[in-house]
Structure 1
């Protein structure tokens, strides 16, 4: 396949890769939550980004892909990296004031940001009325699956602040996708796009952890090394590399609709790995999610 070929719809390969990414990102929520007992949030996010950046550099060097040549991608790369870092900073800061269930629903408003912004970048990606309805149905399924968490008291008078930071994180995530498609990064390799994001975010998040006085983890258990290794190698390196390759070759609005499956896969991962119950609500939500995604991507 031509590495520069762009598709107008999602084919079987894209759907398979997307579902694989969503499953991994759902597992990532479990891994990140488990690691928080041994490492602070910003150090965790910064170290996994920095470690994955090194892996991308090694991968690109092995494949002969240039990462540092002048090709006009620096402004877009710095912008995408800064947005990526700010997104994670908002998520981790917001979780101090609101519940995880509320946060995840706000974060997955990002496909709407992409859907609204992409027509200004590529008119061919404007959603039809049927597709917009499918996107609303898919998001409604996610919100309904997590609705029970909305009734949980967070114990914080600043819950509105946590919710606002979750909404800002969604805007930043959607903005990152739009920045990639609107700048010279749209013609850059997936490796270079990812290297910008990981390098900039890793440095920014670790500096933020140091500035805020988060303690450096001094005791590295095998458990922590495994959890951080999974997030670094499988999530931040392999799955994100696939994602940015997909963003380059397939419609961003249709790709974004599939990310709505991630929190529900996270619920399934929690049930399988943490013994949490699978309710009838979750099963119905998965069916509604699938129907919504089909409507968005039906040709």
Structure 2
């Protein structure tokens, strides 16, 4: 009887410790919802009727421009494969910029490419673009984060166009006047930003996989010379520059997970990788 009691007590204690640790992780990870603007997981259950659902809850769904874009095995569950032509990209609904008032921004994604590829653009010469390789500074292999205004073309130091999975992240922090690039969870490059606020008094909508010159949703594209060619997964955009700790958390995370405490649905960044 005594042995059974001790065993039951031990089991209850272990369960309590597990729940406490789990809750602590959930509370800590909720910080990454702050400032979230767009989240495309590219999982197959989020891609329906020619659109990819924005899991941030902001309604910034993406329209797949052709049927050539395919859901395939990604880094985290499924990802989106782009064939690398100028007609195969995603037009972002709703989210646009129209003033020189961006005080902070972060973009990140898992990518697997073997050639220069456009990841996301809201127009380099008006707001920003995020690329693997570039058409500026002779860069064919590094992450580039080109911003405006004035135009500031800049890139990292680590080759990412090697056909392997890489987690890539770029951020702008206007208060600190800094731009940073992270590759696979580590700071790759850092530079002073020439502006405290990014942008111009002009409307620009965005694309995933091609350059933007769009003054309206699904408007003009450009440049079109290096569309995304490979697999993309877990694309996110924040309206603030993330901290170093948060950049690492995004790299280590497996995606968003719905958790329902007290009967309420909460969108949480979770399922931290146990191994790589």
Fold shared per TM-score above 0.5: no
Computing the radius of gyration from Cα coordinates, the structure with the larger value is 2
TM class by smaller structure:
0.3 to 0.5
Higher helix share: 1
